Amino acid sequence: MKHFIAYHKIDVYGPYNNHGHITFRHFSSKSPKYLRRALGQTVWVLSGEILNGRKVYKLCSKYTPKRIVEKEDARSVEGSGIEFNPHFEVTRFSWFQELFKEQQNFSWGFNEIKNQRVIKNLEKIAESRGEINFNEAEIPAEDAPNELKLPRKRLMAIQRVIRDSSIGKALKQRYQYQCQVCGQTIELPDGKRYAEVHHLHPVGKPHNGEDGFPNSIAIEPRTHQVIFWNQSHGEKSKLVLNHDLNPACVKYHYRKIFKGTK
């Protein structure tokens, strides 16, 4: 038995409601050759819509296609089955996240399901006609046992870039542990100050920059993370500078790390 997903976009096609009819259909742009693979198999209809600012996915129906209906402007797969009433939300289940990934965010619309764990969970919901609570509606993955066990260990050889800690310490002391970008200073409970060093041209792979004052700025950790994840950046003119930066490092930072931002 093969299983297929049929995705219904509510914001495009409107609410999914079979109105008590015993005949189910799903319109698809897939070729007749592909759709014939679904005849006599199982089709699961999922809907998706935005509710209260978040995307919600629900299991609407399960049916067995019997025929393909061709019209001038549309093609549908039709058959008989059941509609879940009410439609059963599946957004939070881990198996649904596996389905979401497998189906490329449901971009294919109508497509075969390959993940056996997903199929088992769908069938479990169908057996109860959707009358099942959240905790009962999840079959755990085979690789997620309930018992505790020690993790495996492996001896590995790792090549690391060894930064000169004296350079970073001297740089932070020069700026009294104050962030050169935002001006803030982090003070720890013991009264000591804390700052980090950001390399404009990163020293690790694949960048392979050099270590030293001309490639470094003192920075507080929150701003460091903002820069690391490329969310925003400070203008060069706003930096507090009491040492010379290498223009090539600054250029690399703005062209490679921020991908062209200025």
Q: Are 207 and 110 within one domain?
A: no
Going by their DSSP bridges, the two strands 3-9 and 196-199 should be labelled as unpaired
Q: Are 132 and 170 within one domain?
A: no
Is position 157 within any domain? Answer: no
Residue 146's pLDDT is 55
Look at residue 136 and tell me whether its pLDDT is greater than 70.
no
Sign of the dihedral defined by the CA atoms of residues 229, 49, 106, 132, in that order: positive
pLDDT tens digits, one per residue of 42-57: 999 999 999 888 899 9
Is position 151 within any domain? Answer: no
Residue 260's pLDDT is 43
Res. 59 pLDDT band, cuts 50 70 90: very high
- Final residue in a domain of this structure, among 136, 151, 174: 136
- Final residue in a domain of this structure, among 115, 136, 157: 136
Low-confidence winner among 68-77, 111-120, 152-161, 205-214 (lowest mean pLDDT): 152-161
Res. 39 pLDDT band, cuts 50 70 90: very high
Q: Are 171 and 244 within one domain?
A: yes
The total domain count for the chain is 2
Reply yes or no: is the peptide bond before residue 206 cis, omega within 30 of 0: yes
Q: Are 118 and 171 within one domain?
A: no
Mean pLDDT of 62-73: 88
Is position 156 within any domain? Answer: no
Is position 100 within any domain? Answer: yes
Q: Are 96 and 212 within one domain?
A: no
Q: Are 11 and 131 within one domain?
A: yes
Mean pLDDT of 164-192: 90
DSSP string, 69-91: EE-SS-EEEEEEEEEEEEEEE-T
Look at residue 95 and tell me whether its pLDDT is greater than 80.
yes
Q: Are 207 and 124 within one domain?
A: no
Q: Which residues pair with 15 in a beta bridge?
A: none
Gap between the terminal Cα atoms of the chain? 57
Q: Are 173 and 125 within one domain?
A: no
Q: Are 130 and 190 within one domain?
A: no
Radius of gyration of the chain (CA): 28
Is position 181 within any domain? Answer: yes
Contact 18, 55 (CB under 8 A): no
Look at residue 262 and tell me whether its pLDDT is greater than 50.
no
Q: Are 186 and 92 within one domain?
A: no
Q: Are 113 and 31 within one domain?
A: yes
Greater confidence, 84 or 233? 84
Residue 49's CATH number: 3.10.590
Residue numbers of the domain that contains 194: 165-257
Helices of type H across the chain: 10-13, 32-36, 94-102, 116-127, 165-174, 221-228, 247-252
Q: Are 238 and 113 within one domain?
A: no
pTM: 0.52
pLDDT tens digits, one per residue of 247-258: 999 888 888 876
Mean pLDDT of 214-235: 72
Residue 230's pLDDT is 54
What is the average pLDDT score of the chain?
83
Look at residue 2 and tell me whether its pLDDT is greater than 90.
yes
Is position 217 within any domain? Answer: yes
Helices of type H across 91-246: 94-102, 116-127, 165-174, 221-228
